């Protein structure tokens, strides 16, 4: 009987010990769970990709400033454009329209410059439209200005050296212009009721006028430009035609010239007199 009792106690103690030993095994469960929970975290990090940033809404106002300084004919007109904003430097394109001509330029550091050639003197409206870079924060804007194109002034100088009767008058007009402009066109000469026209070549024009009698003539030279970017001009001078000077036969000579000769009779004999 006593032996059965010991056996029963031994069995009970064994069961209790088994239950007690099982408890640490259960307590070791959380680290396993923690290790298991770390695996999804690593898996999540492996498959995560940042989403592309959505484009900025066009919410920042801009201001387009336009400056078109006056220019003169035969010079290219310039239009300066600057685009400003309260948040950074705007980027994009500007479309510039002058006299029906359009140029589209990219902004560089917020600015752009257009050059327009061949504008006749006058007044021209300038319009500019700013188009922001797609997806940027800036809003579109526009600006305007007025461009004045002035004609370039010219100056004409005429020269008519004196001659003697029987000689041909050579009259020359020279035309200059302000700045880098090169005058092109024609010059009309008026001499003693005669009118002659010559084309300007390298800034000068020359005409020859024969058969003038002795006297003084008013000479007028009028420049007419072929370009609308230039203004015409004129000048006046006098041309003196002197009488012959010489011996009885009226043969003209030029004193001081060793090769001038005068043939006339001396003491009833014919001969030549040379002037040194």
Give yes or no: residues 178 and 141 share one domain.
no
- Predicted TM-score (pTM) of the model is 0.54
**End of a domain among 150, 169, 189?**
150
Give yes or no: residues 126 and 108 share one domain.
yes
Domain that holds residue 121: 62-150
Distance of alpha carbon 234 from alpha carbon 175, whole angstroms: 9
The domain tally of the chain equals: 2
Give yes or no: residues 88 and 142 share one domain.
yes
What would the pLDDT profile of 49-83 be if each residue is shown by its tens digit? 555 555 556 689 999 999 999 988 777 899 999 99
For the sheet with 194-199, list strands across it: 163-164, 233-242, 215-225, 185-191, 194-199
Distance of alpha carbon 186 from alpha carbon 234, whole angstroms: 11
Query: What are the tokens at 210?
Result: 């024969």
| 179: pLDDT strictly greater than 60 | yes
Give yes or no: residues 134 and 75 share one domain.
yes
Strands 111-116 and 261-266: unpaired
What would the pLDDT profile of 182-195 be if each residue is shown by its tens digit? 899 999 999 988 99
- Residue pair 120/229 in contact (Cβ under 8 Å)? The answer is yes
Residue 111 lies inside a defined structural domain of this protein: yes
């Amino acid at each position: 009987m006593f032996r059965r009792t010991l056996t029963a106690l031994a069995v009970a103690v064994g069961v209790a010990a088994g239950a007690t030993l099982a408890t640490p095994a259960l307590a070791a469960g959380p680290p396993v769970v923690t290790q298991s929970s770390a695996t999804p975290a690593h898996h999540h990090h492996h498959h995560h990709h940042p989403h592309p940033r959505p484009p900025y809404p066009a919410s920042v106002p801009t201001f387009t400033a336009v400056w078109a300084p006056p220019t003169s004919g035969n010079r290219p007109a310039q239009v300066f454009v600057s685009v400003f904003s309260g948040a950074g430097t705007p980027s994009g394109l500007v479309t510039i329209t002058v006299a029906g001509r359009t140029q589209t330029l990219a902004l560089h550091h917020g600015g752009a410059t257009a050059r327009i050639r061949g504008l006749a003197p006058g007044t021209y409206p300038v319009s500019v439209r700013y188009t922001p870079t797609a997806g940027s924060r800036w809003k579109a804007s526009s600006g305007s200005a007025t461009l004045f194109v002035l004609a370039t002034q010219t100056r004409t100088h005429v020269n008519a050296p004196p001659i003697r009767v029987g000689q041909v008058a050579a009259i020359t007009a020279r035309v200059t212009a302000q700045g880098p402009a090169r005058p092109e066109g024609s010059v009309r000469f008026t001499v003693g009721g005669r009118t002659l026209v010559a084309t300007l070549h390298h800034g000068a024009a020359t005409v020859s006028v024969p058969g003038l009698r002795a006297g003084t003539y008013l000479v007028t030279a009028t420049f007419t430009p072929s370009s609308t970017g230039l203004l015409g001009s004129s000048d006046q001078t006098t041309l003196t035609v002197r009488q012959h000077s010489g011996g009885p036969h009226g043969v003209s000579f030029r004193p001081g010239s060793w090769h001038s000769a005068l043939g006339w009779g001396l003491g009833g004999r014919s001969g030549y007199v040379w002037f040194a």
